[in-house]
Structure 1
């Protein structure tokens, strides 16, 4: 039972783990809360995250409203260049789109992020949001009309350096924001699904808000040795369960994704198919090659998972 709960917990907490590995990688690159991380050039293979692209340079920031309200200040677009993205909480739930295609429509705005039940002073003309988590972050990209030429990238970086993140206590004055160019820095932001993932879960559960709908999972986490405000000290038997459950959770998510893509591919009408990559519409002809390839991948993944389940050393005890 403990093993299965450990697998379920890892699947449940995956959005939060994506966020944690994201801020851990940024911190290792010298990006602290309220800093603006940007790429002066289009990122390359060293930018490791779940769904990257190599067409526009990414911009990131993260913060923690547990210490008080935070202001996220977006600049107005300039000729030929605008910045667009999303502000999210730690579970990657969107608060709003911002920038040229977002709520401010490229005119610039102050987004005021306040803790739950906040009754303090507000910020004049700001857009107010009450996230459900302490941590939050933004993922932005410049929209460059002429493409990422050297000149345009320089202008995009200059516009990026007008984005500001600062606590309410520094509003009204010159809020100093630190800008960190991470181009060429190795950023490993993809969660590593091994036995160590449970230590990361314990850390984030201790730092984040527990909402009413999370109470059932708090009980499941306690059953596998993860409790808020208590030391995380798994013994050898429990660590053996972690070591097996982390990879199993990854296999489950990979297989589920492939099987879901097969389902989508097989539901098209009049020869239209929804592909896994980019959700491109296929008109007129059936994308049978994609379906066949995906089907074989799913069979391989399923068989591999079954083989790993039968050959992986199992915990010696059930906790």
Structure 2
């Protein structure tokens, strides 16, 4: 019998509840509140965990910009990272430093967002500077000082701001070369608007994050709520949605008040923090969870899904906010920008993903598959295929340098017609080039992600459709 059937047996015949029934219902109330707070706050706590994981190793400050100078690999535990670009990520504090000027270098694909992961702006190729580089001014909440001319002005609802740059690899004799991308990213300059004397700016630091063990995942236990309470206390009241704040208040997370749950409530929070991520996995891996989620449902049916099915960058549809899509996305990913949700032919990026093979079965690490990409994948910049843990979005630790194949690697072999056959499985099939194979871990499922950078018209008009993975064992 389901739990709600137990609750429906509670008697109200005598117009009041027994102590046992009252406690049962209140426990259910607080558990449900905790579940919804966990799911609703996932974008923010996701961001807090990424910041804290980085700053624990590299330190904090507007001048600290870690760069994965040899690309990001599975030693960095962060949701759905990209091994086929060079990342730079920083965490700015407008309460500590006031308005900040960010000099973005040319030729990047980047974004700036608040700590609820509401995008402030795309930056670079699909931003207002159009890839030429430019000066962005980050303004804190409720700032009433003068704002000078000459900047792309961005008003943040939170004091904390996330800076996320990506620069592109170039082909090299031994595979993709990150040197030029690193050189580009190290042109970033950040300084306080209030300080006009460059001699007083903190010197930019660009620590190398490649090869460093980093845990940037949000908690799956009751400490999740502690991290959330700290953020709520630090940020202004109007930086978050009031209905969610009402749910938080039921648990004692209220700005201006200490968060001190007793042992019984902490036990409930622990249970919710264990169940909520599992619920998100269930929603995310159910094919019909969202309307129009699948990319290809016409005469040619495929199981690749869209992270923004008829939604904008805030996950809004025409008449509602897609709460299920938010919790599914931020379970295994981070950062959202207008360019990700829009149709930008030849610019931006798209990320078709699948959990399933051509038979509709979940992808399984002990099986072998062939993934056929039709001739000339529609990516002006490059394409890549990467495998991830479907429960938290981390890269699969498969023993290869990167759990990814990309078109910048001159070792990947194309077919005569310009198509590609890529293989996934625990063993490389006979005759398959090493560069066309991704090793999978037996007894582990995985998420398969296809990235298209600079997607061209054949992607949008459906004249180019990737196959589903087909079993070959």
The reply to whether TM is greater than 0.5 is yes
Distance in 2 of aligned mates of 1:62 and 1:213: 19
Distance in 2 of aligned mates of 1:27 and 1:212: 23
Q: Aligned in 2, Cα 1:194/1:272: closer, same or farther, shift over 3 Å?
A: same
How do 1:152-163 and structure 2 match up within 5 A?
A: 152-163=177-188
Whose helix proportion is higher, 1 or 2?
Answer: 1
Report the secondary structure of 2:191's partner residue. Answer: strand
Q: Aligned in 2, Cα 1:65/1:235: closer, same or farther, shift over 3 Å?
A: same
- Tell me whether 1:142 sits opposite 2:167 in the alignment: yes
Distance in 2 of aligned mates of 1:198 and 1:280: 30
Match of 1:168 among 160, 168, 193: 193
Q: Aligned in 2, Cα 1:46/1:60: closer, same or farther, shift over 3 Å?
A: same
Q: Aligned in 2, Cα 1:113/1:149: closer, same or farther, shift over 3 Å?
A: farther
Where relative contact order (Cα < 8 A, 6+ residues apart) is larger, the structure is 1
Q: Aligned in 2, Cα 1:140/1:279: closer, same or farther, shift over 3 Å?
A: same
Distance in 2 of aligned mates of 1:116 and 1:193: 30
Match of 2:134 among 109, 121, 134: 109
Contact 2:167 2:181 in 1 (8 A): yes
Structure 1 range deviating more: 5-14 or 210-219: 210-219
Aligned residue pairs total 285
Map of 2:101 onto structure 1 = 71
CA drift at 1:22: 0.5
Match of 2:80 among 31, 35, 51: 51
Contact 2:70 2:210 in 1 (8 A): yes
Map of 2:263 onto structure 1 = 236
Map of 1:30 onto structure 2 = 58
How do 1:169-184 and structure 2 match up within 5 A?
A: 169-171=194-196, 173-174=198-199, 175=201, 176-184=203-211
Length-normalised TM-score, structure 1: 0.81
Report the secondary structure of 2:112's partner residue. Answer: strand
Map of 1:99 onto structure 2 = 124
CA drift at 1:207: 1.1
Map of 2:352 onto structure 1 = 279
How do 1:248-287 and structure 2 match up within 5 A?
A: 248-260=275-287, 264-265=293-294, 268-276=297-305, 278-279=351-352
RMSD between superposed Cα atoms in Å: 2.7
Distance in 1 of aligned mates of 2:121 and 2:170: 23
Output one character per residue of 1:116-168: Cα deviation in whole Å (capped at 9) or x when no partner: 34332334411101111111112211123436969942332222211022211
- Write out the 4+ residue segments of structure 1 that deviate beyond 4 Å after TM superposition: 147-152, 260-263
CA drift at 1:87: 0.9
Structure 1 range deviating more: 139-148 or 180-189: 139-148
Map of 2:145 onto structure 1 = 120
Match of 1:130 among 137, 144, 155: 155
Distance in 2 of aligned mates of 1:31 and 1:97: 26
- Whichever of the two has the greater Rg, that structure is 2
CA drift at 1:213: 6.5
CA drift at 1:6: 0.5
Map of 1:310 onto structure 2 = none
Report the secondary structure of 2:207's partner residue. Answer: strand
Report the secondary structure of 1:71's partner residue. Answer: strand
CA drift at 1:103: 2.0
Map of 2:89 onto structure 1 = 60
Q: Aligned in 2, Cα 1:14/1:73: closer, same or farther, shift over 3 Å?
A: same
Contact 1:42 1:148 in 2 (8 A): no
Map of 1:314 onto structure 2 = none
CA drift at 1:92: 1.1
How do 1:170-209 and structure 2 match up within 5 A?
A: 170-171=195-196, 173-174=198-199, 175=201, 176-209=203-236
Report the secondary structure of 1:10's partner residue. Answer: helix
